[in-house]
Amino acid sequence: MSSPTKFVLDESKMPKHWYNIAADLPVPPAPVLHPGTMQPVGPDDLAPLFPMELILQEVSTEREIPIPEPVREVFKLWRPSPLVRAHRLEKILGTPAKIYYKYEGVSPAGSHKPNTAVPQAWYNAQAGIKKLSTETGAGQWGSSLAFAGSLFGLQVRVFQVRVSYDQKPYRRALMETYGATCVASPSNETNSGRAILAQRPDHPGSLGIAISEAVEIAATNDDTKYALGSVLNHVLLHQTIVGQEAMLQLEMAGDDPDVIVGCTGGGSNFAGISFPFIGQQLRGGKKRRIVAVEPAACPSLTRGKFAYDFGDTAHLTPLTKMHTLGSTFTPPGFHAGGLRYHGMAPLVSHLKELNLIEATAYHQTACFEAGVMFARAEGIVPAPEANHAVKGAIVEALRCKAEGRSEVILFNLCGHGHFDMTAYQNYFAGKLSDQSYDEAELAMALSGLPSVPA
Amino acid sequence: MSSPTKFVLDESKMPKHWYNIAADLPVPPAPVLHPGTMQPVGPDDLAPLFPMELILQEVSTEREIPIPEPVREVFKLWRPSPLVRAHRLEKILGTPAKIYYKYEGVSPAGSHKPNTAVPQAWYNAQAGIKKLSTETGAGQWGSSLAFAGSLFGLQVRVFQVRVSYDQKPYRRALMETYGATCVASPSNETNSGRAILAQRPDHPGSLGIAISEAVEIAATNDDTKYALGSVLNHVLLHQTIVGQEAMLQLEMAGDDPDVIVGCTGGGSNFAGISFPFIGQQLRGGKKRRIVAVEPAACPSLTRGKFAYDFGDTAHLTPLTKMHTLGSTFTPPGFHAGGLRYHGMAPLVSHLKELNLIEATAYHQTACFEAGVMFARAEGIVPAPEANHAVKGAIVEALRCKAEGRSEVILFNLCGHGHFDMTAYQNYFAGKLSDQSYDEAELAMALSGLPSVPA
């Protein structure tokens, strides 16, 4: 216990560039296709939704993309985030492994999401945009964009899935504290929302519907753009500051990770911690195991098909090649709302196909068990999403114990669970379900994938 | 905006001693009296409730008291906490003042309370104690002691005021995540609880009743001690690590505070940020303004009487000389549960009588208004208690603007509001009341103060 616990970088050491893994890929990822023409989309196709700087980042193959100075100034409110050696967890597990976690819960919104919300808001403000629209489920992304919007004077309108809007009022209160407007989706504010409400006035909503509403608002209003919190290349790019910082902090600690673990929903926090390390390997550096941990109830990487699919249920988005459960797939209820997505980021999917990463899946009860062990050892109560990474790290640490190896394990603790205590209550009450997805529904959803000419 | 934002100490620079202001006081505080004999209490009188090391700290006049190494190891999970220059808030206010805040919300439980919970748990564990009992209102203190207990293998039993137990289940879930047991008070587990339930089975509880239950459990069980989260000298002592760190961090920043602001309930976070600076002054250093900010609905320092009084409503505690509203005083409902106490820490009260500190009071709506402004500027959503300090700091910054002075303002942001979002919802809905206390009730409560021979 006499070795240091936290490795803290001075803010002058905060990375000045994002790392773009596209520069180092041995094979480029499949192009994004326009669903009408089946031809690759160009910048102009995306211009109604995003400012040009973000579109250029989406397709860039430059290795280093500068982080604008005003964005770095905002990051200094909480970045560099701490890297912590989990001494107490190691001791409880009796493992010879060293466990480090990068803690992103120190951000104002409590997760890694502001790492991309802030630059997205800034680039939009620079382009003269006055309003942003987005969707959110449980509210991690919505509250992050609300925070970012408040910094640059952007009005943020968040379409929140109605069932979350009703059941989780605290994240909504957080969005409102940052000055954003939160609307229950489906709403009467859009054609897509009105069409759904006409059929079913008490519709509980879905992320797919909320995306459709947010996209419609952006596409039909010149002063409004759309913002997405994961999946896209530029979003993953913005998260690479996490792994770059971790690399510097592990140098301070005199360690080099053998295994890197992250949870995966859309893929952004996993990409953030791992891409800079994968890039090192691609440029001839150390080979490491990179483990993506996903929920067994929504297992796109481990059970999905690598194919072209839509990003939303209403089929308004372009087609991207990714691991997908099918855009109509509905996972059973579980508490890691941030991991309930039918697809996986195209870049993460591509790395999986190249065998540069591994993937594994766990049910939520095992993940909460890991999270509670972590909280009692290290103090921090992880978000339900982050519990998947904790579980993955503990599995690796116990493997090291069994094999007598003192490997170095790094995982991304991507957020705290302060707004998710209902999930912990349910866990303690024995009310968590480990229900699996419906195999027939998965088969049905996969059978509906769009057919794309080879 | 090019000057640094955060001032981060390496954990090797974390203070190794607590600062004991008793060593530097020009006049000693009045003795604590036994209510039966009206004679000063000795260590033996307190031995049923506290381990001897804490009792010795309570009466020590040594200037520096070493922080045990195992306690420092735990502190490294989040300490040293950041000192942040509030660049964005300064800009919004248009003030020439420099505003710094010390942020204690980075602790696992989200406030400054673990600074004393951890050493209290450690000293008890060292003394062979197996169980701790305590009370909590909203749950900040209970969750902190639950966390500390989990680290040293102590069973923690928290008596939570029933109305909070029912209305604020998330902090209870946090306590349970750390492995503590949380009991609604009044309960059937104690004589004092049973007596109250016999009269009124649906009694909503009060902090005074919960204290009585926790004290009774400790007094009647050899393996159990009691722990208190504020007011007592040793609790304030443990918080001085906050001000000592801030002093080092302000040296890094090249600034020296002119005004130091903290909110006051029992007095512990205020003492933590200010006592090391007051000590400097008492030893011949710079004279600074030290401002305590309290709720206008429970204004012990600004409207209370400096007199001997009980610490609890059931009159089980010794008598301490302090600013008090009377132990039977019940403040109107407001959201800063941590500031709803009838008395003030004897050491803080003593400093007020010596004119070493100032005190001011604000209603909660003005404090929430300040907190929302702070959240939109700096990202962090403060706890309702901390909003009082934010308000106090903004008032000073606007005074500097009016006077054209570029003073340096330091305030203690003692916790985040993640578990208090209902209060923010009420604020946005215009439902916050600024009801004052009842003057007749205050007069009644003060008329009931115990008479103590001069």
pLDDT of residue B2: 62
Residue B39 within a domain? no
pLDDT surpassing 60 at residue A138: yes
Q: Does B77 touch chain A (CB under 8 A)?
A: yes
Q: Does residue B349 sit within a domain?
A: yes
**Cβ partners under 8 Å of residue B195, min gap 6:** none
Task: Compute the distance between CA of residue B268 and CA of residue A194 in angstroms, rounded to an integer.
Answer: 54
> Which positions 294-353 of B are in contact with A (Cβ < 8 Å)?
none
Q: Give the confidence band of A1 by pLDDT, cuts at 50, 70, 90.
A: very low
Inter-chain CB proximity B77 and A4 less than 8 Å: no
pLDDT score, position B1:
46
Mean pLDDT of B130-140: 93
Quote the CA–CA distance of B269 and B328 in Å, as a whole number.
24
Q: What is the ipTM of this complex?
A: 0.94
A335 or A142, greater pLDDT: A142
Residue B337: is its pLDDT beyond 90?
no
Can you give the pLDDT at residue A266?
93
Q: How far is CA A382 from the centre of its chain?
A: 15
Give a yes or no: residue A192 inside a domain.
Answer: no
d(CA B7, CA A10): 8
Question: Is A253 among the domain residues?
Answer: yes
Put simply, the chain A residues between 6 and 25 with a CB less than 8 A from any chain B CB are: 6, 8, 10-12
The partner residues of A184 in beta bridges, in order of sequence, read A160
For chain B, the distance separating the N- and C-terminal CA atoms, rounded to the nearest angstrom, is: 58
Question: Residue A340 pLDDT more than 90?
Answer: no
Q: Which of B92, B178, B376 to mutate to test the interface with A (most CBs of A within 10 A)?
A: B376
Higher pLDDT, A313 or A281: A281
With contacts defined as CB-CB under 8 Å, which chain B residues touch A170?
A: 418, 421-422
Query: Residue B245 falls within a domain, yes or no?
Result: yes
pLDDT of residue A2: 62
Mean pLDDT for chain A overall: 95
Q: Is residue B268 part of a domain?
A: yes
In angstroms and rounded to an integer, the radius of gyration of the C-alpha atoms of chain B is 21
Q: B191 vs chain A: nearest CA distance in angstroms?
A: 29
Residue of B nearest to A372 (CA): B177
Tokens of A151: 């910094």
* Minimum mean pLDDT range among A204-218, A338-352, B20-34, B61-75: A204-218
- What is the domain extent for residue B388? 6-13+68-110+234-438
A316 falls within a domain: yes
Note the pLDDT tens digit of each residue in A298-321. 999 999 999 999 988 778 889 999
Which helix (H) or strand (E) covers residue A427, if one does?
A: helix A421-428
8 A C-beta contact, residue B373 and residue B81: no
By CA distance, what is B86's nearest residue in A? A77
Q: How confident is the model at residue A20 (pLDDT cuts 50, 70, 90)?
A: very high
Residue A330's pLDDT is 80
pLDDT of residue B54: 98
pTM metric for this prediction:
0.96
What CATH number did the domain enclosing A274 receive? 3.40.50.1100
Tell me, yes or no, if B150 comes closer than 8 A to chain A by beta carbon: yes
Residues A141 and A112: beta-carbon distance below 8 Å = no
Q: What CA–CA distance (Å, rounded) separates A194 from A203? A: 11
Q: Establish if A36 belongs to a structural domain.
A: no
B167 touching A (Cβ < 8 Å): no
Domain total for chain B? 1
